[in-house]
Amino acid sequence: MNIEIKSLHFAYPDGTEALKGISLTIASGEQIAIVGQNGAGKTTLARHLNGLLKPSGGTVFVGDWETTQHPVAKLAARVGYVFQNPDEQLFSRDVLTEVSFGPRNLGYAKEKVDALAQRALALTELSEKTEVNPYDLSPTWRKMVALASIIAMDTPIVVFDEPTTGQDAANVARIARVVAELKREGKTVIAITHDIDFCAENFERVVALSRGQILLDGATRDVLGQEAVLAQTYVEPPQLTRLGKRLGLKETVVNQEELLQALKK
Amino acid sequence: MSDRLSFHVQRDSFLHRLNPLTKLTLAFALVVVAFVLPFYWTPIFVLFAVIVPLSVSGKIFREFSWAALRLILPAVGFLFVMQALFQPIGEQVVFKFYFLDATTESVAYAFRNAARIFVMISAFTLFLLSTHPSELMSDLTRRGLPSQFSYVVISTLQIIPQMQAKANAIIAAQRSRGLDTESSFLKRAGALGPLVGPLVFGSLVEVEERAIAIEARGFTSKRAKTSLYEIADSKFESVLRWSLVALVVLSIGLNLWHS
Ligand SMILES: Nc1ncnc2c1ncn2[C@@H]1O[C@H](COP(=O)(O)OP(=O)(O)O)[C@@H](O)[C@H]1O
Ligand SMILES: [Mg+2]
């Protein structure tokens, strides 16, 4: 299921022009990271994908649906959105009920709801914790519950807002495994992130936003190679990429493996 | 501090510069006078000779009249009609509504009561319009009110706009999980749990964190605190406050003597 954004403009009621003409096509099954400085418009863009915000100008299509024509509750079957703060959505007395909430809203049969919830719990390593009250878990595990509760909806498209912010290394690795599994299943994954290492290691395409416009859009390697342009939106390429540059490598490297390969040559 | 909840309107005026305690005393004194001075027209006099001119000199006449006409008048008007019709006093019927009748006496009685209530609400409206709650609280704390008390008042005022923002975030999150909040009333009523739950839990988590954070910064320390803002007070205002107190005592005395 493709996402087709055409000259999207958006202004908040107070007049802030958050998006100034974004055009973007995201193909089915792509892994794409959206980067850019604070206030660049990343969250505003992401919220258009499931219809939480409706364009002031231009169009957003998710598959054959234009977002203005469908309520959020219906778009939720196509686009899952993991919010940055899990405390803004957890309400059930145990993890299993929480994770089943989404698929139940989508009206799936009981067996399917159970199967989807179990799969999401396994993927987020929560299988042991199904009966715990989410508020008895640590903030990092609450984040995983929030993730699981969206993955359980089995949407073809999943959007993550700042998934790794405030997470410890173990949880970042867990989230990376979730992204990898979603990729294997052929889902589209879109992540807003400040974590440029996470972006370099898990995403094949990067879109850099700056002041409501697209600054760069392309393969991760090509985008992260453009240090000077990225500096305009206060994004620094990964340490490794900069090291590679300083070592005089011709190609841009974005992870350890590539750096080793390049050095061996 | 967000001002969405407090009625305070920032202006540069004589009224705004008065010490909060003076304004509070004034509001109380006006209410007592309006209620106990045994002259029929006292409340009307207080309203037009004191409260309205004060709102003008405080540069908040527009805000004050908006509140008076849109909020206070309808409520007080309702009270007037009810009392005029239901007070079983007087003989001279001026208006009949099925079995209810308003007499000259009941109308006069209802009018005075309504005027008193009008004075009461408008005196405090004037106070709230010209005084920021945190100003009042820091002044009272300086005068020996326990700081825990002002913390509770101030944080309650702060928490409501915060909760509004939070509620919006929660609604967005739950709609994204397929919760239907846009269609029928029944569906929306069923959506209450997922919306209220995180609001309450999240706020509890926040309140606890904040309590720990301010405790760690010595909030309950027994030493006298340094005040960050100097809240003006003067000999004149002190005299003014005591005169108001004297006025209150005088009106109560007059009331007792008169009856
Ligand atoms: N609810 C809102 N009302 C008004 N302006 C907003 C609101 N949310 C965000 N903005 C503004 O819109 C711009 C883009 O914000 P956002 O999309 O949150 O950026 P990012 O996620 O990249 O940090 C910023 O200038 C921000 O201040
Ligand atoms: Mg953001």
Question: Chain B 181-200, CB below 8 Å of chain A: which residues?
Answer: 181-183, 193-198
What is the Å distance from ligand 1's center to A19 Cα? 9
Closest Cβ opposite residue B202 in set A87, A101, A150: A87
**pLDDT tens-digit map of B149-159:** 777 777 776 67
- The answer to whether A153 contacts B177, with C-beta atoms less than 8 Å apart, is yes
State which fold the A3-78+155-264 domain adopts: Rossmann fold (3.40.50)
- pLDDT for B1 equals 36
- The answer to whether A83 contacts B176, with C-beta atoms less than 8 Å apart, is yes
Domains of chain B, residue spans:
14-131+233-258, 145-216
Going by pLDDT thresholds of 50, 70 and 90, the confidence category of residue B100 is confident
- pLDDT for B190 equals 66
CB A158 within 8 A of CB A82: yes
What is the Å distance from ligand 2's center to A43 Cα? 4
Amino acid at A47: R
Q: Which two tokens stand for residue A159?
A: 């959007």
Closest Cβ opposite residue B173 in set A77, A79, A89: A89
**pLDDT tens-digit map of B105-131:** 888 889 999 999 999 999 999 998 998
Q: Which residues of B touch A76 (CB under 8 A)?
A: 175-178
Q: Which two tokens stand for residue A98?
A: 């929480």
Greatest distance between any 2 Cα atoms in chain B: 71
- pLDDT for A64 equals 94
Distance CA A26, CA A32 (A): 8
- pLDDT for B188 equals 62
Q: What is the CA radius of gyration of chain B?
A: 24
Residues B64-101 as b or e (16 or more Cβ within 10 Å = b): beebbeeebbeebeeebeebbbebeebeeeeeeeeeeb
Does ligand 1 have an atom closer than 6 angstroms to the CB of A193?
A: no
pTM over 0.90: no
Does ligand 1 have an atom closer than 6 angstroms to the CB of A234?
A: no
Which residues of chain A are modeled with pLDDT < 50? none
Task: Looking at the CA of residue A44, tell me the nearest atom of ligand 1.
Answer: 17
Q: How far is CA B32 from CA B22, B36, B37, B128, in A?
A: 15, 6, 8, 18
- pLDDT for A227 equals 86
Distance CA A23, CA A55 (A): 12
**pLDDT tens-digit map of B172-226:** 888 888 887 666 666 666 667 777 777 777 777 777 777 787 777 777 777 776 7
Distance CA A151, CA B233 (A): 61
Amino acid at A179: V
CB A220 within 8 A of CB A255: no
Residues 6 or more apart whose CB falls under 8 angstroms from that of B1 comprise: B132, B134, B154, B157, B158
From A19, A35, A44, the mutation candidate for ligand 1 (largest count of ligand atoms within 8 A of CB) is A44
Strands (E), chain A: 3-11, 17-26, 31-35, 57-62, 65-66, 79-82, 157-161, 188-192, 205-210, 213-219
Q: Which of B173, B177, B174 has the alpha carbon at shortest distance from A150?
A: B177
Distance CA A250, CA A232 (A): 23
* ipTM of the shown complex: 0.75
Judged against a pLDDT cut of 70, whether residue B95 lies above it is answered with yes
What count of residues does chain A have?
A: 265
- pLDDT for B98 equals 73
- pLDDT for B217 equals 73
Residue range B87-91: mean pLDDT, rounded: 75
Q: Which of B64, B176, B72 has the alpha carbon at shortest distance from B128?
A: B64
- The answer to whether B198 contacts A88, with C-beta atoms less than 8 Å apart, is yes
- pLDDT for B186 equals 60
- The answer to whether A76 contacts B177, with C-beta atoms less than 8 Å apart, is yes
Residue A104: in which H helix or E strand, if any? helix A95-105
Q: Which of A186, A205, A155 has the alpha carbon at shortest distance from A26?
A: A205
